[in-house]
Amino acid sequence: MTSASRTALITGASAGIGATFARHLAAQGYHLLLVARRADRLQDLARELAQRHGVRCEVFSADLMDPASPRAVVAHAAQLGMSIDFLVNNAGLSGHRKFIDTPWPELAGEIQLMMTTLTELTHLVAPGMVQRGWGRIINVSSLAALSPPGESLLYSAIKSYVMVMSQSMDMEFKPHGVHVTALCPGFTHSEFHDVMGTRKTANQLPPILWQQPQDVVQEAIKAVMSGKPVCVPGTFNKIMASLMRPLPLWLQYQLGKAFNPFK
C-alpha cells in the first residue's frame, strides 16, 4: 500500500502546525480528514489541497473539548469509508491565567482536549492500524515536556503525559508496523499565541527561539517514518532539551519558577 491509498486524520487542522501537516501529507498523496472547530477555514484548506494535489480531502467540524467528539470523528470517518492510517493529534491550547483564577470548566477543557481526546482517538484508530500492519501516529507534545515546569500552567504537565504516553504506545504498537512519535516543538510561528492572548509576550522572545511550522512538520514526519518515539525539532531545541534533562528536580523547579516567559 502506498501513501496514495492511505488516509490521514489531522486535528487542529485549520491553521498553524495542523494546516502545515495537511499540506505536507497531501503533497505526499495522502487523502485527508481535517478536524477543527472553524468549518470555513477547513473547507478553504480542503478545496486548496484537493485541487492542488488531486487527493480526497474531507472535513469535520468538531469541538474536541466535547467528550463525545472522538467517537463522533471516527464514526464520521467510517461513514465516509475512510480507514485512518496516519493520525496527527495536533489540537491544543494553553491557559494563561493563574490556576485558582481559572474556572474549572476551562481547566477541564484543556485536559479533555489535549489528554483525553488525544488518548481516545489513539485508542479508536490504533486497532485498525495494527490489523492492517501499518500506521503512523504523531502526538504533538512540546519542548515544555522536557523543560522545567511553569507556574500556574497545566500545559507542561499535560505535554509530559503526551510524551510518555506516546512512548508507551510506540513500544506496544511497533512490533505490528505502527509507529508513534511524540513531537516536542519549541516556539513555532503560528496563530497559537494570538488565540491564547500571549502574542505580545511571545514577540519579545529572541528570534533564535523560533521555528517555522514547515521545518517542524518535515522533521516530525521524517521521525515517525523512521520510528523515532520522540522528536525534538531544531538544533537549538535539541541543545536545550539535552541540557535540561540531567538537571536535578529541585533546580528544574527553581528555573521554571524564575524563567516562565508567560508568567
Question: How would you label 47-60 residue by residue, b for 16+ Cβ within 10 Å and e otherwise?
Answer: eebbeebebbbbbb
- Label each residue of 231-243 as H, E or C: ECCCHHHHHHHHH
For residue 178, list its beta bridge partners. 135
The grid cell for 216 is 517542524
Is 155 a residue of the active site?
yes
The answer to whether the Cα torsion of 98, 99, 104, 105 is positive or negative is positive
Of 61, 65, 66, 84, give the one whose Cα is nearest residue 74: 84
On whether the CB atoms of residues 124 and 135 are closer than 8 A, the answer is: no
The answer to whether the Cα torsion of 21, 31, 76, 83 is positive or negative is negative
Distance CA 107, CA 99 (A): 8
Question: Percentage helix, strand, coil, to 5, in the chain?
Answer: 55, 15, 30
From 30, 155, 161, 253, active-site residue = 155
For residue 32, list its beta bridge partners. 8, 57
For residue 179, list its beta bridge partners. 136
* Cβ neighbours for 144, distance < 8 A, ≥ 6 positions apart: 150, 155, 156, 159, 160
Catalytic residue annotation: 155
